[in-house]
C-alpha cells in the first residue's frame, strides 16, 4: 500500500502502528448549514479509503467529528462562531441548530451509501477534555493567558509549518489573528485555545466554566482532543481538505505534539476541491448545491457517488449538470449489465484472466487509492472476450465492495427513460433541420452528446435518442 503523505510531500509505503490495523481521524462538518456537494465529495472520498482498507483486510477504526462550537467565521481566530451566527439567523438555540443540520448530514451520507463511522463525537461533548488538554499546555509553557483568550505560543514549537512548508510570514492572510486586537498577544501567528466570555465574545451563547475563566474552546483544540480521546496520542492517518493544511492541521500538530510529547500523525491525507462550472462554489451565484438539489432534479444520489469515483482524491473535480447526467448514464449501464438477464455464454472464463483483473484492481487501489483507474478497469472487464458474463458480474460485484454503488442490493433495473429536457433538445434540433438551419442543428446535436446521449435521424422526420 502506497499513500501520498502531505507531511513528507511524497508517496510512502503504509506501515501502520499495529499490523493489520488502521487508526484514522477525519475532520467532519461544522454543523451550521446544509453541507454542499464539496463536503459530500470529501465524505465520499474518505469512505472510499475506508472501504479500500477493509477490502485489503485491514481492521480500520475511524473517528469523524461534528464541530458544534468554536469554529469562527474564518479558519483562524476571526469573526463570529458559525453555530451562534446560524442560531441568531434562524432564531433557534445553538444546540437545536446543530441537531437540525446533523440530521440532514446523516441522511445525505446515508443516501450516498457512506459507511457508518466507529465514533462521531460532538465538540460540545468534549469540553472537559479540552480544558485538561489546555492545562497541560499551560503547565508546559506552550500556552499563555491574556484577558481575552489563552493562546498557543508558536515560537515554542519547532518546525511549526512543517506540514504546509510555509514560512510564518507567508501564512494565509488572517490566519492566527485574534478577533479583537489583543495587545498582550505575543506573536501574530499564535492561535486561540480558549476564548473568554469577554470583548466581542462577551455575549457568547455557548460558554463553559474552566479553571482559567468562563468561555469556550477554539476550533483547533477540539480535533486534537477528540483524536487523542478516541484513538490515542499517535494515529496512523488524519484526513481533511487541502484548505486545512496551512492553519487548522498545522495548529493541530503543534498543540498535540507539544502536549503529548510524541508524533501526532504518521500519514496526512488531503483531498482537493470540487469546482462548479470550473469556478469555486458560490452561494451568491447559486452554485453552492447540496444533495437535495440533486434529488430535486430526479438524479439518483448514487449517480453523484459514481461521479466522484471518476476523479482521484488529490485532483480537483469539476461538477456540471452534464457531467452528473453522464454519471447517471454510466451507473444505469453498469446496473443494466449486472442485473438484467444476458444470454448464456457458450465458453468458460479463463482463470488466468480473472486473476489478472483482480490483481490489477488491487494494484490500483493500493497505489494511493487510485479509484478512477479501478473504475476504468471495470468497463474493460465488461468488454473482455476472455470472461463469460457470470464471471464478469462476480468480479464487478467484488469490486463494488470498494465502489459502494449498492450493485448487490438492486433487484431489478428500472427501464431507463430519456429525460424530458433531452427530448426537448431533440425536438428543437428536428425543427432546425426542417428549416435547413444546419449550424443550429449541429450545435444541438453536440449539446445532446455532452449530456451522454446519441441522437439518430429516422425516416419521416423522426429521431431516436439513446445512451452513448
Kindly report the CATH number assigned to the domain that includes residue 233: 3.40.50.620
Q: State whether 248 and 356 are in the same domain.
A: no
Tell whether 285 is covered by a domain.
no
- pLDDT at site 172: 41
- Rounded to whole angstroms, how far apart are CA atoms 421 and 203? 52
Mean pLDDT of the chain: 91
Q: State whether 324 and 264 are in the same domain.
A: no
263: left (phi over 0), alpha (psi -120 to 50) or beta: beta
Tell whether 315 is covered by a domain.
yes
Residue whose entry in the numeric block shows the C-alpha cell 512543517: 162
Q: State whether 35 and 154 are in the same domain.
A: yes
Q: State whether 118 and 239 are in the same domain.
A: yes
> Do residues 227 and 249 lie in contact, with contact meaning Cβ atoms separated by under 8 Å?
no
- pLDDT at site 177: 41
Residues near 416 by beta carbon (within 8 Å), at least 6 away in sequence? 332, 336, 467
Most confident of 70-79, 333-342, 366-375, 380-389: 366-375
- State the angle between helix axes of 351-366 and 371-383 in degrees (0 to 180), rounded to the nearest 10: 160
Q: State whether 173 and 302 are in the same domain.
A: no
> Do residues 97 and 83 lie in contact, with contact meaning Cβ atoms separated by under 8 Å?
yes
Beta strands in 87-225 (DSSP E): 143-145, 149-152, 191-196, 215-217
- Rounded to whole angstroms, how far apart are CA atoms 451 and 466? 11
Q: How many domains does the chain have?
A: 3
Of 465 and 92, the structure prediction assigns the larger pLDDT to 92
Tell whether 131 is covered by a domain.
yes
Instruction: Report, as an integer, the average pLDDT of 23-44.
Output: 97
Tell whether 204 is covered by a domain.
yes
Q: State whether 79 and 133 are in the same domain.
A: yes
**Which residues span the domain enclosing 16?**
2-271
Q: State whether 383 and 428 are in the same domain.
A: no
Tell whether 396 is covered by a domain.
yes
Tell me what percent of the residues of the chain surpass a pLDDT of 70.
92
Residue whose entry in the numeric block shows the C-alpha cell 472464463: 349
Give the phi and the psi of residue 226 in degrees, each rounded to 5: -70, -35
Q: Which three cell numbers stand for residue 84?
A: 451562534
Q: Which three cell numbers stand for residue 412?
A: 431489478
Q: State whether 137 and 49 are in the same domain.
A: yes
292-308: pLDDT as tens digits: 999 999 899 999 999 99
Report the half-sphere exposure of 428 (CA within 13 A, side-chain side).
15
pLDDT exceeds 60 at position 395: yes
191-214: pLDDT as tens digits: 999 999 999 999 999 999 999 999
- pLDDT at site 168: 63
Residues near 6 by beta carbon (within 8 Å), at least 6 away in sequence? 163, 245, 268, 269, 270
pLDDT exceeds 70 at position 170: no
Q: State whether 78 and 212 are in the same domain.
A: yes
DSSP output for 294-339 = HHHTT--HHHHHHHHTTS-TTS-EEE-HHHHHHHHHHHHHHHHHHH
- Rounded to whole angstroms, how far apart are CA atoms 250 and 265? 11
Listed residues 403, 429, 457: the one ending a domain: 403
pLDDT exceeds 50 at position 95: yes
Give the phi and the psi of residue 448 in degrees, each rounded to 5: -65, -40
User: For the sheet containing 59-64, what is the strand order?
Assistant: 59-64, 21-26, 235-241, 265-271
Q: State whether 258 and 324 are in the same domain.
A: no
H or E element: which one contains 292? helix 291-296
CATH number at residue 326: 1.20.120.1910
Residue whose entry in the numeric block shows the C-alpha cell 469523524: 64
Tell whether 279 is covered by a domain.
no
- Rounded to whole angstroms, how far apart are CA atoms 378 and 57? 21
- pLDDT at site 75: 82
Residue 222 CB: number of other CB atoms within 10 A? Answer: 27
117-152: pLDDT as tens digits: 999 999 999 999 999 999 999 999 999 999 999 999
pTM: 0.86
- pLDDT at site 343: 55
On the 0-12 / 13-18 / 19+ scale of CB atoms within 10 A, 25 is buried
Give the pLDDT band (50/70/90) at residue 178: very low
In the three-class reduction of DSSP (H, G, I as helix; E, B as strand; rest coil), residue 199 is classed as helix
> Do residues 149 and 196 lie in contact, with contact meaning Cβ atoms separated by under 8 Å?
yes
Listed residues 403, 434, 455: the one ending a domain: 403
- Sign of torsion, CA 417 423 425 429? positive
Among the listed ranges 48-52, 73-77, 185-189, which one has the minimum average pLDDT value?
A: 73-77
H or E element: which one contains 53? helix 37-55
- Rounded to whole angstroms, how far apart are CA atoms 285 and 300? 24
pLDDT exceeds 90 at position 56: yes
Q: State whether 64 and 109 are in the same domain.
A: yes
- pLDDT at site 349: 65
Q: State whether 232 and 360 are in the same domain.
A: no
pLDDT exceeds 60 at position 173: no
Tell whether 64 is covered by a domain.
yes
Listed residues 228, 254, 271: the one ending a domain: 271
pLDDT exceeds 80 at position 259: yes
Instruction: Report, as an integer, the average pLDDT of 211-239.
Output: 97
Tell whether 282 is covered by a domain.
no
- Rounded to whole angstroms, how far apart are CA atoms 153 and 190? 5
> Do residues 5 and 268 lie in contact, with contact meaning Cβ atoms separated by under 8 Å?
yes
- Rounded to whole angstroms, how far apart are CA atoms 407 and 242? 31
Give the pLDDT band (50/70/90) at residue 412: low
Give the pLDDT band (50/70/90) at residue 342: low
Amino acid at each position: 500500500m502506497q499513500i501520498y503523505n502531505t507531511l513528507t510531500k511524497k508517496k510512502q509505503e503504509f506501515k501502520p502502528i499495529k499490523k493489520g490495523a488502521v487508526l484514522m481521524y477525519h475532520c467532519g462538518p461544522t454543523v451550521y448549514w446544509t453541507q454542499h456537494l464539496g463536503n459530500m465529495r470529501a465524505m465520499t472520498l474518505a469512505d472510499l479509503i475506508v472501504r479500500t482498507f477493509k477490502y485489503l483486510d485491514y481492521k480500520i477504526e475511524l473517528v469523524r467529528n461534528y464541530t458544534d462550537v468554536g469554529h469562527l467565521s474564518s479558519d483562524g481566530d476571526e469573526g463570529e462562531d458559525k453555530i451562534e451566527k446560524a442560531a441568531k439567523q434562524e432564531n433557534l438555540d445553538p444546540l437545536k441548530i446543530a441537531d437540525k443540520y446533523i440530521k440532514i448530514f446523516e441522511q445525505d451520507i446515508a443516501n450516498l451509501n457512506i459507511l457508518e463511522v466507529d465514533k462521531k463525537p460532538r465538540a460540545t461533548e468534549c469540553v472537559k477534555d479540552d480544558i485538561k488538554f489546555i492545562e497541560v499546555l499551560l503547565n508546559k509553557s506552550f500556552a499563555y493567558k491574556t484577558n481575552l483568550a489563552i493562546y498557543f505560543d508558536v515560537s515554542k514549537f519547532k518546525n511549526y509549518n512543517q506540514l504546509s512548508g510555509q514560512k510564518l510570514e507567508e501564512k494565509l492572510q488572517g490566519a492566527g489573528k485574534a478577533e479583537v486586537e489583543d495587545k498582550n498577544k505575543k506573536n501574530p501567528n499564535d492561535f486561540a485555545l480558549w476564548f473568554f466570555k469577554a470583548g466581542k465574545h462577551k455575549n457568547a451563547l455557548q460558554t463553559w466554566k474552566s479553571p482559567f475563566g468562563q468561555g469556550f474552546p477554539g476550533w483547533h483544540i477540539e480535533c486534537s482532543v477528540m483524536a487523542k480521546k478516541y484513538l490515542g496520542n499517535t494515529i496512523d492517518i488524519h484526513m481533511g481538505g487541502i484548505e486545512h493544511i496551512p492553519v487548522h492541521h498545522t495548529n493541530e500538530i503543534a498543540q498535540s505534539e507539544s502536549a503529548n510529547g510524541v508524533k501526532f500523525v504518521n500519514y496526512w491525507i488531503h483531498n482537493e476541491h470540487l469546482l462548479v462550472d470550473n469556478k469555486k462554489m458560490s452561494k451568491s451565484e447559486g452554485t453552492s448545491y447540496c444533495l437535495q438539489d440533486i434529488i430535486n432534479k430526479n438524479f439518483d444520489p448514487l449517480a453523484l457517488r459514481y461521479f466522484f469515483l471518476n476523479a482521484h482524491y488529490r485532483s480537483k473535480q469539476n461538477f456540471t449538470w452534464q457531467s452528473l447526467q453522464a454519471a447517471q448514464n454510466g451507473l444505469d449501464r453498469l446496473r443494466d449489465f449486472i442485473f438484467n438477464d444476458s444470454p448464456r455464454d457458450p465458453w468458460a472464463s479463463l482463470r488466468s484472466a480473472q486473476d489478472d483483473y483482480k490483481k490489477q484492481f488491487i494494484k490500483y487501489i493500493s497505489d494511493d487509492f487510485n479509484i478512477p483507474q479501478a473504475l476504468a478497469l471495470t468497463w474493460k472487464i465488461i468488454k473482455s472476450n476472455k470472461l463469460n458474463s457470470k464471471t464478469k458480474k462476480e468480479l464487478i460485484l467484488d469490486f463494488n465492495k470498494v465502489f459502494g454503488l449498492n450493485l448487490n442490493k438492486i433487484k431489478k433495473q428500472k427501464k431507463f427513460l430519456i429525460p424530458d429536457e433531452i427530448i426537448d433538445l431533440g425536438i428543437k434540433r428536428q425543427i432546425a433541420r426542417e428549416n435547413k438551419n444546419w449550424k443550429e442543428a449541429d450545435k444541438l446535436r453536440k449539446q445532446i452528446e455532452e449530456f451522454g446521449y446519441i441522437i439518430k435521424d429516422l425516416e419521416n422526420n423522426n429521431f431516436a435518442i439513446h445512451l452513448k
